[in-house]
A and B are shown apart, each in its own frame.
Chain A
Amino acid sequence: MVRPARPRCQPPRTSGFLAVLALLALVPLGACGRTETAAEPATAEGGPAYGDTLVEASIGDISGLIPNITSDSASHEIGNLIYSNLVRTDKELRLEGELAERWEISKDEMTITFHLRKGVRWHDGEEVTAQDVDFTYRYMVDPKTPTAYGESFRQIRQAEVVDRYTFRVTYEQPYSPALLSWGIWILPRHILEPAWKAGVDLRTTQQNRHPIGSGPYMFGEWKTGEKIVLEANPAYFEGRPFLKRVVYRIIPDQSTIFLELKAKNIDLAGLTPIQYRRQTDYPAFRKGFNRYRYLANGYAYLGFNLLDPRFQDKRVRQAMAYAIDRQEIIDGVLLGLGRPAVGTYKPGTWWYKEDVKSYPFDPERAKALLAEVGWQDTDGDGILDRDGTPFSFTIRTNQGNLVRQQTAEIIQRRLRAVGIDVKIHVVEWAAFINTFVKKKDFEAIILGWGLGLDPDQYDIWHSSKTGPDELNHFSYKNPKVDALLEAGRRTFAEAKRKAIYGELQDVMAEEQPVVFLYVPDALPVVSGRVRGIQPAPAGISYNFTKWYVPANLQRYTR
């Protein structure tokens, strides 16, 4: 999980369990970018040139090459290069057409008509048509399809292929996350439909091992557990990509990836704060790589089980928010590479509200609030108690994420200072999610959300989403929040949505359904020989096909 994902238009449903994993995958999206550029060579160099290979590392093997039915970030990243989407987001995170040349939204905001580009071809030469889009839609809503991204397509009442290049969908009611959901990978109907109709599980088809897509890169080879090789698609409809080949090496150990990076055998990776501050800050590394830094698209939080009566009063949660020093966590754990989180949205997005209620570090205020609710230290042991029970709870978090474990320790100390006794329990990921989080067997957890590119967070906060396989595992229920979440989905008008989500942010700041902790920085590094990278709010990888290595610097000639 070290390298930055290549986020194009990801379906908004990525704010799922695995997107939680993706939080510290440091998805590079964001404003406030900063670049440290490798020393430019003194000799004159040529302009954009075709050729060379970019080598990346992936901590795990991919699970398949039909990204619609996988959920690991490596599969998605590679899927993004092999397949095209109907729409995507540009460098400013605005929606733009990819396979769709343009689209129209009907007056009643229920119908969207997509007009496809003509002459786009699958890697095998067939043309991409509205039939492929229609097939992808039908596949996504098939209950047998093991996909996490089907929900938004189930809101569709009717889908029709108007002509070879026109596709029209009508929703049950206006549904604004719909447009972004068409950032789904479009699948080749001519290859998959026969198998699908015959009831074959598409995971067992050739397409999942040896795919035909329509994106900038064509599948080359997949050596299980070793590497995946992609070759530039000379017929890509936006022009042949400059980098001739992209190789993903599978290296299951973080330290090994980092050593390979230092030895310049890997050209692109994401750094941890300590690697950024202490282990790559020397001349030879700065000469060989460009380091980038911008806000990641996600945040970490301390969440409570709101079925536990102790946490139901918002004053208790506010007290915790006052008792925790966020800047201390950022300085101590992230080494200054991040900023305090005040809410559930990313700073810099159009729906982000700057001036919400904030909780500066104030332990006295925290104690006062706790006293209001009845928590007082009556027996003088330094721990608050109420009705003879001391205020004590356990924070659970997942193993393998040092940043979260250290955050837990700092929180433990700060809460102890206001009289709350905290224990920490670190659990292996699968057991953490399945045994504790999903079964709601926790008092408090430290986790993160990776965020979608739409303000709709219905799945996280709505009171109807508290089931065992759903994402509101805090069991947060607030009619006001429910109403705002529903309203926000029902209109496409940006000004209206901005007002709705602004109000939502005010309510959440007051309520502190979870204590928002920090937004980490994404810290990608790219080999200094690669040119054409232009950091933008969307990160660096949005213009990947325009990256190039000048002819005299190319390293891999074959």
Chain B
Amino acid sequence: MLAYLIRRLLISIPLLLGILCLSFVMLKLAPGEPTIVQQDLQMRATGAQRETLRQLYGLDRPIYVQFGRWLWRVARLDFGRSYSPDGRAVLDKIAERIPITLGLNILELIIIFSVAVPLGILSATRQYSTFDKSMTLFVFVGFATPDFWLALLLMILFGVQLGWLPISGLRSLNFEYLAFWAQIWDLLSHLILPILVASFGGLAYLSRLMRGSLLEVIRQDYIRTARAKGLPERDVIYNHGVRNAVIPVVTLLGLMIPGLLGGSVFIETVFAIPGMGQLFVQSAFSRDEPVLMALVVIGASLSLLGNILADVSYGLVDPRIRVSGKEGR
């Protein structure tokens, strides 16, 4: 198991390098250079001043030199300083935001998994029932609904019309003055809408997958055997069926991590949540390369880690594919 993990981690390194190389090149290809954006703030900056800045940031070097230098610094976990006027250390800027984004994404994963799996089981065991059909409808709606539209509708309904939930932000303005439990509720109530919107698409997708997977499994011979030996239907489904059906779902849950991280960009913007996604948008618009590249590194690492975790958890839920050092998966 450990050897497998180490091997997977080692394989991730060239993969990560590839991702970073591509991102770096794409960033360099985008029009507009950070020094130019910075000069907007000082209309009278001369050509000479711009040249100084270019040298300072090493932008006068060939792109592969820039990439090499940048990589060398990243290897030592030095992400440099932001090009934005605050000039703060990139790591500081990200560190204060990463817990929010990670927390949100973990909550989303938990909710997607714990809702989608039961929904899928119910649909599969009641195939073609009204419930199953309405679930099918829900799934298509879930796929077809644009996030931003759903977000606005829910904000209008629960925030403006009914006034039950806060519209945006992470905390109320009087948060500091609330009692402990009121603070917990305040946080939760702010999280309901963003998490609902962020989970909606994944929920529809995963519940569909669970349904299909379970339907396939219960046609297998061993299920027939279980039924034949007179096990109650509950045991057949939950002990023999679900355990096998959930395997592909777990893998795909891991593969959903990059998508969720990408979704944070949108969710955090619309709901005004000060996380990494928001920072990403700001940095992209201001061509703040150090921050942008640092976020790419973190995003890519998290996604790769998600893949590895998915593979490992594979083994945990399915004893047949418990990995040994030799046979891989």
Q: Which residues of A contact B (CB under 8 A)?
A: 13, 16-18, 53, 55, 60-61, 63-64, 69-71, 146-148, 150-151, 201, 203-204, 208-209, 223-227, 247, 249-253, 255-256, 259-260, 262-263, 265, 428-431, 433-435, 438, 459, 468-471, 556, 558
A-B contact count (CB 8 A): 133
- Taking the closest CB of chain B, its distance from the CB of A63, in whole angstroms, is 4
Q: Within residues 31 to 45 of chain B, which ones have a CB less than 8 A from any CB in chain A?
A: 31-33, 36-45
Q: Are B155 and A70 in contact (CB under 8 A)?
A: no
Q: Is B173 in contact with A247, judged by CB distance below 8 angstroms?
A: yes
Known contacts A252-B269, A430-B32, A430-B37; A263 and B160 CB within 8 A of each other: yes
Q: Which of B44, B47, B270 contacts A148 (CB 8 A)?
A: B44
Minimum Cβ distance to chain B for residue A196 (Å) = 15
Q: Which residues of B contact A470 (CB under 8 A)?
A: 43-44
Partner of A226, one of B170, B174, B279: B170
B167 beta carbon closer than 8 Å to chain A:
yes
A71 near B152 with CB under 8 A, answer no
In the bound complex, residues from chain A placing their C-beta under 8 Å from that of B159 are 259-260, 263
Instruction: Decide yes or no whether B281 CB sits under 8 A from chain A.
Output: yes
Chain B residues lying within 8 Å of A265, measured Cβ to Cβ, are 166-167
Q: How many angstroms from the CA of A252 to the CA of B281 in the assembled complex?
A: 10
* A64 CA to B86 CA, complexed, in Å: 6
Given contacts A146-B85, A253-B269, 19 further A-B contacts (CB under 8 A): A13-B43, A64-B85, A203-B85, A224-B93, A225-B275, A226-B169, A227-B173, A249-B169, A250-B274, A252-B278, A253-B272, A256-B271, A430-B285, A430-B287, A433-B40, A435-B31, A435-B32, A471-B43, A556-B174
Q: Are B86 and A260 in contact (CB under 8 A)?
A: no
Chain B residue at minimum C-beta to C-beta distance from A227: B173
| Pairwise interchain contact B173-A263, C-beta atoms closer than 8 A | no
Looking at chain B, what size class is its interface with the partner chain? Answer: 35 or more
Interface of chain B, helix or strand or loop or mixed?
Answer: loop
Q: Which residues of B contact A438 (CB under 8 A)?
A: 36
* Nearest-CB residue, chain B, relative to A223: B274
List, in ascending order, chain B residues with CB within 8 A of A259's CB.
Answer: 152, 155-156, 159-160, 167-168
Return the 8 tightest CB-CB contacts between A and B, nearest first: A225-B274, A63-B85, A251-B272, A434-B32, A431-B31, A435-B31, A434-B36, A226-B274
The answer to the question of B313 belonging to the interface, with a C-beta cut-off of 8 Å to chain A, is no
Whether B31 pairs with A17 at a CB distance below 8 angstroms is: no
Distance from B152 Cβ to chain A, minimum over Cβ atoms (Å): 6
> In the bound complex, do residue A18 and residue B41 qualify as a contact, i.e. CB atoms below 8 Å apart?
yes
- Name the A residues within 8 Å of B62 (CB-CB): none
Set B85, B173, B177, B287: member contacting A69, Cβ < 8 A: B85
> Once the chains bind, are A63 and B167 in contact (CB under 8 Å)?
no
Cross-interface CB contact of A558 among B177, B279, B287, cutoff 8 Å: B177
Is there a chain A Cβ closer than 8 Å to B301's Cβ? no
Q: Could you list 27 A-B pairs, sorted by A, with CB under 8 Å?
A: A18-B41, A70-B41, A71-B41, A151-B44, A204-B88, A225-B275, A226-B169, A226-B171, A226-B274, A249-B169, A251-B168, A252-B282, A253-B270, A256-B168, A256-B270, A256-B272, A259-B156, A259-B167, A260-B168, A262-B160, A263-B160, A265-B166, A265-B167, A430-B32, A431-B30, A434-B31, A469-B45
